[in-house]
Amino acid sequence: MTTEHIPHDGTSRGPLDGLVVADFSRVLAGPLVTMTLADLGAEVIKVERPGAGDDTRSWGPPYSKTGATYFESVNRNKRSVTLDLRDADDLALARELAHRADVVVENFKTGGLARYGLGYEQVSTENPSVVYCSITGFGSAGGAELPGYDFIVQALGGLMHITGEPDGDPMKVGVALVDVLTAKDATIGILAALAHGARSGEGRHVEVNLLSSLQSALTNQIQAVIGADASPSRLGNAHPSIVPYQALATADAPLAVAVGNDGQFRAFATEIGVPELADDDRFATNPDRVTNRKELIPLLEDALAKDSAERWEARLIDAGVPVGRVNTIADGIAHAEGLGLEPMLELKDAHGDVVGKGIRHPALYTPAFPVRDAAPPQLGADNDDVRSWLAAPRDNATTATS
C-alpha cells in the first residue's frame, strides 16, 4: 500500500486511513462502494466531468439545501475534482491519480477507460499493487456492450418475475436494489484483494457485474430452480416455503407476520383466539401450512379482523411472535431511533457547520472507530488541493499535512 496522502484537514480517520481511492464511477453502485471506503477512513477522490459532474447531481427533485438527495445519498466523505479526459493536461492528472491510488473504482462500459490509458492493464503496469475494481451491467464477455441499468437487470435476472401480486404485473423493487447489492459485493471484493495485497504486495483486478450480483442475491429462490427444477413465481407478500410469512389484514391495516417455526405458530394462533388451528392436521407443521395456505390465511385474517394492527402488534410481540406494522420510511427511521440504533449522521461542511443528515454506515465496532461526517462535496470543490498534489513530484507528495 502507498503512504501518499493529499493534504487534509487533520480530522480523525477510520480503519482504512492511508488508502487513496481514485473514484472514476458515477450514479449508484460505484459511488456507494467508494462512499463505504470513505466512511471507513479512505481518502476518496471523485473524478467528475467539468460543468456537469456525476449524472445524479441533476437527478431531482427532491433536493436538500445543498443538492440532489440522490447524489448526496452515496457521496459523503469524498473530494471532488473535475477532469476532462479529452484534455491532455487533465488526462495526465487522471493517470497520475490512478498511478498513486491504492484502489481504483470505475463503472464505464468494458474498455471505456482503456481508451484513455486508464484500463487495468495500463494502470497496473505503472502501479502493480493497485486493486482495480470494474463494475459493469453484464460482465466483460458477451454482455460487454450492454448498458447496466438496475431496472433492466431486475427484469432480465428474474427478480421482477417473482415480485408483485400473483394475478398482477411483474414489479420492480422500490429501490435500485441490484445496484446496492452489487456495491456490497464490490466492496467485499476490494477488501479481500487489499487483505491479500497486504500480505503479498500483489494487486488484483476485481470484476463485479449487476446480473451476477442479483443472481447471487436470489439465494433460496435461484437454488430452487437449480436444485429442484422448481419455477418460482409471484406470491405478493407471501413466502414460497414458510406460512404464515406475509402481510395479513387486520381491522384497519396490514400486519407483517413472520412465523418461522411451529412453536411460533402455536403462540400466534393462541394469541389471536384460534388455538385449535395449531392442532389441526392441515396446519400443525410448516409443510402442512404451505400445502394448505389457501385454507389457512382466511381463517387467520378473520381472527385478526377483531382488532387493529397497532394493538395486535403489541400483543403478539409480547407473545414472542415476530410481527410489525407496515411503516413509511420516516416511520422506520423513528422506529430505529426508538430502539437506540442512532440511524442518522449529522454531516458537516469544511467549516464544521452542520449542513445536512445522512444514514450512517450500518456496522458498529467495539472499540469504536472514528466517524467521518463530511458532507458530499460540491462539484470541483477540491480542484486546487487535488491538482496541486497530483502536479507535485511523488517523492514530495508522501507526507500528509494538516
Active site residues: 179
Q: How far is CA 210 from CA 50, 180, 204, 226, 391, in A?
A: 28, 9, 20, 20, 36
Is 137 within 8 Å of 107 (Cβ atoms)? no
Residues in a beta bridge with 79: 45
Residue that is written with C-alpha cell 466523505 in the block: 77
Is 78 within 8 Å of 33 (Cβ atoms)? no
Is 131 within 8 Å of 193 (Cβ atoms)? yes
Residue that is written with C-alpha cell 504486495 in the block: 201
Selection from 329, 324, 323, 168 nearest residue 233 by Cα: 168
Cα–Cα distance, 362 to 86 (Å, whole number): 39
